Chains A and B, each alone.
Chain A
Amino acid sequence: MTITMPSVNYLAIAPILVLLGGSLALMMIAALTKSRVSLGVATVTSAAVCAVATIVSVFQWSDVSSHGESTTLAHAVAYDGFGIVATAIIAVTTLLATLSARDWIARARTVGVEFHILLLAAAAGAMMMAQANDLIVVFLGLEILSIGLYVLVAYDRHRSTSSEAALKYLLLGGFASALFIYGAALTYGGTGTTTLTGIAYFMAHNFILQPGVLVAGVGLMLVGFAFKVAAVPFHTWSPDVYEGAPSPVTGFMASVVKVGAFAGVLRILIGALGTQATAWRPLVAALVILSTFLGAGLALVQSNIKRLLAYSSINHAGFMLLGLWSATPRGVAGTLYYVMTYAPVVVATFTIVSLRGGVNEDLHELGGYRGLARRQPLLGAALAVLLLSQAGAPFTTGFYAKFAVLTAAVDAGGAWIGVAVMVAASIAGYFYIRLVLSLYDTHDSAEVVTVPRTSAFVIAVGVLSALVFGVWPGPLESLAQHAVLLLP
C-alpha cells in the first residue's frame, strides 16, 4: 500500500513550523543540558523565534500578493492574506507577551523553561486556527492553543487561585472543545466534507431541503467559539480565570486567544458558511447584544482590576462579533483590524497590571490605582492612554476599531444593532473614564511601582501603537483591507 503524500508549500506553514520548532528546541535544550536553562536564554530564544515568524510572514505577504491565494497540505491549510496578517499579529503579540512575562517570572520566582515552551506552542495553535482550511485543523489548533493555556494559567504555583482558575478553564474549555467537535461532525454529516472551501463549494451548488443537521452543527461550533472568546452567555469562566491566571498569561489569553478564535470563526462562518448567513446571524446578533451590554454593565460594579478587564474583554468580544455579524468582506476586515489593534493594547495593559499586582498578585484592587498618575506620571499616562484606547476614544486605534465594525454592520443593514452597541459603548466609556480619573486622584494611595526595562518596552509598544496609528491609521487600515479571506 502506498501513501500519497500531499504536496507541501513550506513557506505557507513556515511561521507555525518556526514557533513549534522553537518550542521543541527549548524542550531539547532543557532536557539535554545539566544546568537549568536561564530565564535570559529562554526569553531571548522565544522572542527571537517570534521575531523570525513575523519576518517570515512579511515574505509570505509579498508571495501571496504576487502569486495569489492558495491552499496546501491537501487543502487543509489556507494560504491567504487574511491568515498571514492574523499570523503576524499572533507572532508580534506573543513576542510582547514573552517580554511581559520575563519580569513576572523573575519576580514570582517561578522556574522552568516550560513557560516559554507552552507559550510558543499555544501561539502556534492560534496560528493554525488562523490558517486552517479544514474543520479538523481548526480543532487541532484550538486544542493546541487550549492545552498550552490550561497549564500556563496554573503556572503560578505559589498561589492556589492560579490552579483553581486552571481547573475551571480546563473543565469549561474541554466542554467547549467537545461542543465544537460535535458541531464539526454534524457539519461534516450535512455537507460531506470537512474542508472549508469544500463546504463553501457544496453550499454554493446544492440546496439543502432539511438543514436541521447543518444548522445544529453550525450552532454548536458557534457556541464552542463563544466559550473561547468569552461571549455572553458563555462567559462565566472568564472573570475567574482572568483573575486567577498570572497577569502576563491573562494578557496573552485576552489577545492571542481572541485573534486565533476570531480568525477561525470568520473562516468557518463567513468563508465556508457565508451562504447560510441568514441561519447563523440571529445567533451572532444575540451574542453581540448580550456581550456588549453585560460586559459593560458588569464591569461597572467590579472592584478588582483583573475582573474589570475581564468584563471589558467580554465587551470587546461583542464588538468583534459585530464584524462577524455583518457577514461581508468589510466585516472581516473590521474584525481583523479590531483584534490587530486590541492585542498590543491589552498585552500592555496587563503588563502594567502585573507590575502593580506585586509578587503575589494580591494588589489588584481598583483603589490601589488611585493617584498612580500623580506619583508616576509616565506610567499613569500610559495606563490612561491604554484604557482610553479600549474605551474607543478618538485619535486612538480603539476608536477606528469600533468604527470599522460599526460601518460594516450598518453597511449590512444593521443600523439598529449599531445603535445598540454604541449605547453599550457609552456605558463602557463610563467605567474606563472613571478608572482613568482615579489615576489622577489627589488622594494618593498608590505605592511606587518599579518598571523593569523589558516591561517598559512592552508598555511603550502598546501605547505608541494606540497613539501613532490613532493619528495615522492608514497603514493598518490598508493591511486589514487587503488581507483577503480565501473564498472558493
Chain B
Amino acid sequence: MRSPLLIIVLLLLPVIGIATLSVRPWDARMTTRIAASLTVVQLAVSLVAAVGYHSRGGGAFGLTYRRVLASSWGLSFDIGIDGISIFLVILTALVTALALLGASHGERTFVRWILLLNVATLGAFVTRDLLLFFLFFELTLIPSYFLIANYGGPARSAAALKFFVYTLFGSGFFLVGMVYLGVRHQHIFGGDVTFAYDELAKVALSPAAATWVLVGFLIAFGVKSPLFPLHSWSPAAYAEAPTAGSMMLSALLAKLGTYGLLRFGVALLPDGVDRVRPYVMTLAVIGILYGSGVAAVSKNLKRLVAYSSLAQVGFIILGMFSGSLVATNGAVLLMFNHGIITAALFLLIGGLERRRGTSDIAGLAGLQGPAPVLAALFTVVMLGSIGLPGLSGFVSEFLVLLGAFNAHPWWAAVATTGVIFAALYLLWAYQRVFHGVAEGDNATVADATIRERSVLAPLVAAIVVLGLYPALLLRTIEPSVVTSVTHSAVSHGGGQ
C-alpha cells in the first residue's frame, strides 16, 4: 500500500477516538480499551505505510498528497513521509499505545488529551509544509500543558507554566523565520506565497540571512529538544508530568524539536549551518556533559532520566550538525532509539512510583529481591541507554561519534566521555535502587505484572533487535538523509 490515504487514516484514528469518547462517558476500562485499540490500529497502519514506503526505495517523499487550503497565505494540506519521518510516525503510534495501556487510569479527559497529543505529534511528522508543521507543532502545547498541569505531581503548576512559556516563546522565532523564508520565495519566484518544503529548498538566502533564520529555528527547536542552555523547563516538566505525559514528552515531543532542526534547519539552510556549526556543536557537547553530570547527582529517578535525555539529545544534535552523513544517519536512528528507551524508562519508573509512592532514589533500595523481573527489565533498558554493544543505543551513538570524529575530532572526543558518564550514573542509580537489602515497604514490592511485562515486551524487543540488526531502519533512513542533504547542496549551486 502506497496511498496517502494511509496517512490520512493515521490522523483520523485518534480524532475518531476523541469523538467516540466525547459521545458519552464510558467507564475507565472501556475508555482505555477504545483509545488503546485505536492506537494499536494506528501502529499497524503506520507499519504498513513504512513497508509501502520502503518498497519504492529512493530517499524522496512518498505517499504524498497536497491540497491548497488558503492560497494567499500559502496554507496547504501537504502530507508525505520519508525515511526520516516514517520511524518517528511508528514511534508516535507505539509510544501512545503503550502509554495508554501501561500508564493510563482511564479518565476520559486524560485519554482525550493523550489522543489529541498523538494527532498533533503525528501531524507534525507527516507534513511537508512548514506552516502546517507549525500548526501541529503548536497544537502539541495545549494537550501537554493540560496533561502536566492537571494530572502531574505536587509542583505541577509551576512545571507546566515553565514548559508552556518556554515553548511558546521559542516557537515564535520559528514562525517568523519560516514566514521570512516564504516571503523570500515569493519575492524571487513570484506567485502565491508558499511554505512547501520542496519550494523553500529552492530559496537561496544570503549567508547572513540564512544564519539569522537558522538561529530562530535553533531557538524554537532548541527549546523543544532541549538544547543546552534552553533546557531548564525540561527536568521539571518530565518529573512532574504523569507517567504517560513524561513518556510522550520525552519520547515524542523532544523528537519534534530535533526533527524540525534536521528537516527545516540543517536541510533548508546549509549556509547558516556552516556558520553556526562550531557553536551548536559546542552547545551540544556541553549538553552531553552537563546532562550527564547533573544526572549523576540527581536524587530522583525521573529527573535523572530527564537529564540523561538532555545528554542524549546532545548526541543527536551533535550528529546532525557535524556535517557528516554517517553521523546524521546515526542521529536519526538515535531519535528513534532514544524514544524507545526513554519511554521504557519512564514506564518502569512510573511502575516503581505506583508501588512505592515515590521516585526518589533515597526511598528505594534492594528491589531486586522482591521484584526480580522488574529489575531484569530495568537492566536491559538501562544497558540500552548506556550504549552497550548489542543493544540499540550503542549503534546510534557509535555512528554519531564515528561521523563526528572524522569531521570534528575534538568535539567528538569530548562527547565520548559522555558515554562513560552515562554508564556511571545509570549503573550507580541502578545499584542504589535495586541492590542492597530491601527493608520496610521496599521488601514487599510486587514484581512486574503480566500487563507491565506485555507492555514493556515490545520496547525491550525493539532495543534488542535494533541493537543486533540496525540495518532494518538504516537502509530506509540513509537514502532520505542523503536526499535531504544533497538536495539542499544542489539547490545552492554545489555548496559543500
Segment at the interface with A among B130-138, B343-351, B364-372, B444-452: B130-138
The closest CB in chain A to the CB of B74 belongs to: A407
The closest CB in chain A to the CB of B179 belongs to: A410
B160 CB contacts on chain A under 8 angstroms: 437
| In the complex, B142 has a CB within 8 A of chain A | yes
Known: A429-B168, A430-B165, A440-B150. A406 touches B70 (CB 8 A): no
CB pair B138–A394 under 8 Å, yes or no, is yes
Known: A410-B180, A440-B150. A426 touches B172 (CB 8 A): yes
| In the complex, A422 has a CB within 8 A of chain B | yes
B135 CB contacts on chain A under 8 angstroms: 394-395, 399
Interface size on B, residues (CB 8 A): 36
| In the complex, B73 has a CB within 8 A of chain A | yes
A323 to B469, CA, bound (A): 55
Known: A388-B142, A403-B175, A406-B175. A433 touches B183 (CB 8 A): no
Chain B residues 144 to 188 lying within 8 A of chain A, measured CB to CB, are: 145-146, 149-150, 160-161, 164-165, 168-169, 171-173, 175-176, 179-180, 182-183, 186
CB pair A430–B138 under 8 Å, yes or no, is no
| In the complex, B72 has a CB within 8 A of chain A | yes
CB pair B179–A429 under 8 Å, yes or no, is no
B75 CB contacts on chain A under 8 angstroms: 400, 473, 477
Chain A residues 379 to 437 lying within 8 A of chain B, measured CB to CB, are: 388, 393-395, 399-400, 403-404, 406-407, 410-411, 415, 418-419, 422-423, 425-426, 429-430, 433-434, 437
A6 CB contacts on chain B under 8 angstroms: none
A403 CB contacts on chain B under 8 angstroms: 73, 131, 175, 179
| In the complex, B276 has a CB within 8 A of chain A | no
A151 to B261, CA, bound (A): 56
A418 to B182, CA, bound (A): 14
| Per-residue contact bits, chain B 334-372, to A (CB 8 Å; 1 contact, 0 not) | 000000000000000000000000000000000000000
Chain B residues 35 to 92 lying within 8 A of chain A, measured CB to CB, are: 69-73, 75
CB pair B164–A418 under 8 Å, yes or no, is no
A289 to B171, CA, bound (A): 19
Min Cβ gap B108→A in Å is 11
| In the complex, A317 has a CB within 8 A of chain B | no
Chain B residues 113 to 146 lying within 8 A of chain A, measured CB to CB, are: 131, 134-136, 138-139, 142, 145-146
The closest CB in chain A to the CB of B213 belongs to: A415
A454 CB contacts on chain B under 8 angstroms: none
Q: Which residue of A333, A393, A434, A440 contacts B72 across the interface (Cβ within 8 Å)?
A: A333
A419 CB contacts on chain B under 8 angstroms: 172-173, 176, 216
CB pair B180–A415 under 8 Å, yes or no, is yes
A63 to B70, CA, bound (A): 24
CB pair B168–A430 under 8 Å, yes or no, is yes
| In the complex, A40 has a CB within 8 A of chain B | no
Known: A399-B138, A430-B165. A406 touches B72 (CB 8 A): no
| In the complex, B193 has a CB within 8 A of chain A | yes
A418 CB contacts on chain B under 8 angstroms: 176, 179
CB pair B176–A410 under 8 Å, yes or no, is yes
B180 CB contacts on chain A under 8 angstroms: 410, 415
The closest CB in chain A to the CB of B69 belongs to: A474
The closest CB in chain B to the CB of A440 belongs to: B150
B73 CB contacts on chain A under 8 angstroms: 400, 403-404, 407, 473, 477
CB pair B172–A425 under 8 Å, yes or no, is yes
| In the complex, A472 has a CB within 8 A of chain B | yes
A330 to B186, CA, bound (A): 13
A330 to B138, CA, bound (A): 24
The closest CB in chain B to the CB of A473 belongs to: B70
CB pair A433–B176 under 8 Å, yes or no, is no
B179 CB contacts on chain A under 8 angstroms: 403, 406-407, 410, 418
CB pair B164–A429 under 8 Å, yes or no, is yes
CB pair B176–A422 under 8 Å, yes or no, is yes
A330 CB contacts on chain B under 8 angstroms: 72
Min Cβ gap B455→A in Å is 29
CB pair B172–A393 under 8 Å, yes or no, is no
Min Cβ gap B14→A in Å is 14
Q: Report the tally of A-B residue pairs with Cβ distances under 8 A.
A: 93
B169 CB contacts on chain A under 8 angstroms: 423, 426
CB pair B149–A477 under 8 Å, yes or no, is no
| In the complex, A160 has a CB within 8 A of chain B | no
Q: Which residue of B161, B173, B183 contacts A430 across the interface (Cβ within 8 Å)?
A: B161
| In the complex, A276 has a CB within 8 A of chain B | no
A426 to B164, CA, bound (A): 9
| Per-residue contact bits, chain A 262-304, to B (CB 8 Å; 1 contact, 0 not) | 0000000000000000000000000000000000000000000
A433 to B149, CA, bound (A): 11
B70 CB contacts on chain A under 8 angstroms: 400, 473-474, 477-478
| Per-residue contact bits, chain A 188-203, to B (CB 8 Å; 1 contact, 0 not) | 0000000000000000
B193 CB contacts on chain A under 8 angstroms: 407, 411
| Per-residue contact bits, chain B 191-225, to A (CB 8 Å; 1 contact, 0 not) | 00100000000000000000010001000000000
B134 CB contacts on chain A under 8 angstroms: 394
A407 to B181, CA, bound (A): 11
Min Cβ gap B142→A in Å is 6
CB pair B164–A477 under 8 Å, yes or no, is no
A434 to B157, CA, bound (A): 10
| Per-residue contact bits, chain A 452-476, to B (CB 8 Å; 1 contact, 0 not) | 0000000000000000000011100
| Per-residue contact bits, chain A 308-343, to B (CB 8 Å; 1 contact, 0 not) | 000000000000000000000010010000000000
Q: Which residue of A399, A411, A481 contacts B183 across the interface (Cβ within 8 Å)?
A: A411
Min Cβ gap A196→B in Å is 25
A406 to B183, CA, bound (A): 11
B164 CB contacts on chain A under 8 angstroms: 429-430, 433
A200 to B223, CA, bound (A): 48
A425 to B176, CA, bound (A): 12
Min Cβ gap A319→B in Å is 13
The closest CB in chain A to the CB of B72 belongs to: A481
A437 to B147, CA, bound (A): 11
B150 CB contacts on chain A under 8 angstroms: 437, 440
The closest CB in chain B to the CB of A434 belongs to: B161
A437 CB contacts on chain B under 8 angstroms: 145-146, 149-150, 160
Min Cβ gap B145→A in Å is 6
A481 to B72, CA, bound (A): 7
The closest CB in chain A to the CB of B150 belongs to: A440
A422 to B193, CA, bound (A): 20
Min Cβ gap B151→A in Å is 11
A271 to B71, CA, bound (A): 25
Min Cβ gap B176→A in Å is 4
CB pair A406–B176 under 8 Å, yes or no, is yes
The closest CB in chain B to the CB of A374 belongs to: B109
26 contacts between A and B (CB under 8 A): A393-B142, A394-B135, A395-B135, A399-B135, A400-B70, A400-B75, A406-B175, A406-B179, A407-B193, A410-B180, A415-B176, A415-B180, A415-B212, A419-B216, A426-B165, A426-B168, A426-B169, A429-B165, A430-B161, A433-B145, A433-B164, A434-B161, A437-B146, A437-B160, A478-B70, A478-B72
User: Considering the complex of A and B, which 5 residue pairs feature the smallest CB-CB distances, nearest first?
Assistant: A422-B172, A477-B70, A426-B168, A394-B135, A394-B138
Known: A418-B179, A422-B173, A437-B150. 8 other contacts (CB 8 A): A333-B72, A400-B75, A429-B165, A429-B168, A430-B161, A473-B73, A474-B70, A477-B73
Interface residues of B (CB under 8 A from A): 69-73, 75, 131, 134-136, 138-139, 142, 145-146, 149-150, 160-161, 164-165, 168-169, 171-173, 175-176, 179-180, 182-183, 186, 193, 212, 216
Interface residues of A (CB under 8 A from B): 330, 333, 388, 393-395, 399-400, 403-404, 406-407, 410-411, 415, 418-419, 422-423, 425-426, 429-430, 433-434, 437, 440, 472-474, 477-478, 481
